[in-house]
Each structure stands twice: as structure tokens, then as C-alpha cells.
Amino acid sequence: NAGVMQNPRHLVRRRGQEARLRCSPMKGHSHVYWYRQLPEEGLKFMVYLQKENIIDESGMPKERFSAEFPKEGPSILRIQQVVRGDSAAYFCASSEGLAGFGDTQYFGPGTRLTVL
Amino acid sequence: DQQVKQNSPSLSVQEGRISILNCDYTNSMFDYFLWYKKYPAEGPTFLISISSIKDKNEDGRFTVFLNKSAKHLSLHIVPSQPGDSAVYFCAAKSNAGGTSYGKLTFGQGTILTVHP
């Protein structure tokens, strides 16, 4: 049973370009989360999606960032007009969406974005 | 506003001894807590969790203790092994929205080094 898949693992962009990060959840998981880890910091929540719906985007910057989880295919985190401050590790997690306690999020290996 | 805090950036322990990692939280709405282990250039790996209706949960060498009145949790690893050397993150979530799934709030992490 494959875990959460993310690609690319490393992405280099120049300032002003667009970055697209992809995440395929674990089999059977319909809930996807994106987190960002800046150097020397913990993971910070960005957005939570279910198929075709954004449930919580309270951690997403208001401009340049967008996310989607279409009916078919992976979840995409898109960063337009990247700036040096976007350089970070971006992690995707997925969960089953269990009721009650016990809905555990499992993480992918991350995409390390470097903006030159 | 750091709602989950791991005040010890690092911890060094001898192989075979106990490792105790601590975590404090401020948001009284948090009711589900998780510990993740992270190696460099990899995603966080789920270790163990505890809900607010319990004060202890054990899984092999790992035990998590929750003190709700003090808003404090700890992870005990006994006996510690060199392979346990990694960054440990505690994370918390709230059931306030009526759902058990949703965003995790992470601490900054503690670097554990287990010496042979």
C-alpha cells in the first residue's frame, strides 16, 4: 500500500516563475492537507481539501497561492510569481476523515522549493 | 502566537536510557495530540497519539502522557536507541468544529540524539 506521494521532490524556480507541487494521497484517503516548513521552524498549516472542495484555507497566503484537489488526479499546490521567501519544504498529508478521535494524518516526503 | 511549544530545542541521551520529550499547549480547545518523528529530507512519520479522554497511551517503547490541567504532554522512549535520533514534533488538533479531522498545529520540534 503506497504512502503519500509528492512530486517533484526538489524544485528550483527563479523569482517570478510559477511553482506547481503535486500530491497523491494514500489509497482510501479523501482528505488532503498542505503544510509548509521554513528553515529552523515547525510545520505550518496552509490548506485542507477534500475532493473538489477547499475546507479550510486559513493558513494560505491571500495572494499568489492556490490549491485544488480535483475529482480525478492529484492535489496541486500552485505558487505564482515566486519570491525568495517562498523557499521552503512543502509537505502534503492525507487522512481517511474518521469521525471521533483517531483521524491520523500521514505525510509525504515533501517538495523542497528553492527560489533563486 | 505559538499555541504548541516544545521548549527544548535539543536533547542528548545515552543508548538504553529513557528519552523524555516535552510539549506544552495553550489552546484549551485542543483535544487530540500526536507525535511525529522526522529525519532530514524526509516527511514526518506518525509515532503515537492520545485523545483528551485519556492520560496515557503506550505503544511498544513509546508512551505518551497527557496532563490536561497543566496543558502538557510528554513522550517517553524506553529504551532509547541510536536509530531514534531524529527531530520529534508534537502536534495538536481541535474537535471544536464538530469534526475530528482538520488542521494540525505543530510545535517547533526537538532534536533527539541518542549516543551509542
- For position B100, what pLDDT does the model report? 53
- For position B98, what pLDDT does the model report? 57
- CB under 8 Å to B75, separation ≥6 — which residues? B19, B20, B21, B23, B35, B47, B48, B62, B63, B64, B88, B90
Which of the four pLDDT bands, split at 50, 70 and 90, describes residue B101?
low
Closest CA to A99 of B30, B32, B99, B92: B99
More confident residue, A100 or B70: B70
Mean pLDDT for the stretch of residues A43-66: 93
Q: Taking phi first (over 0 means left), then psi (-120 to 50 degrees means alpha), and beta for anything else, what does residue A9 get? A: alpha
Closest CA to B106 of B53, B60, B37, B41: B37
Does residue A43 have a pLDDT over 80?
Answer: yes
Instruction: List chain B residues with CB under 8 Å of A113.
Output: none
* Chain B nearest-CA residue for A59: B103
Distance from CA of A51 to the nearest CA of B (A): 14
Tell me whether the omega of the peptide bond preceding residue B79 falls within 30 degrees of 0, making it cis.
Answer: yes
Q: What is the pLDDT of residues B4-16, one digit of tens each?
A: 999 999 999 999 9
Mean pLDDT for the stretch of residues B79-97: 91
Q: Do A97 and B104 touch (CB under 8 A)?
A: no
Would an 8 Å CB–CB cutoff place A81 in contact with chain B? no
Does residue B106 have a pLDDT over 70?
Answer: yes
- For position A101, what pLDDT does the model report? 67
Nearest to B100 among A56, A58, A101 (CB): A101
Residue A38 CA from chain centroid, whole number: 14
Question: Of the ranges A76-85, A92-101, A105-114, B64-73, which one carries the lowest mean pLDDT score?
Answer: A92-101
Instruction: List chain B residues with CB under 8 Å of A99.
Output: 99-100
Q: Which amino acid is at B104?
A: L
Nearest to B89 among A33, A42, A97 (CB): A42
Which of the four pLDDT bands, split at 50, 70 and 90, describes residue A96?
confident
Q: Read out DSSP for B66-106? A: EETTTTEEEEEESS--GGG-EEEEEEEEE-TTS-S-S--EE
For residues A94 and A4, the answer to whether their CB atoms sit within 8 Å is yes
Mean pLDDT for the stretch of residues A25-53: 92
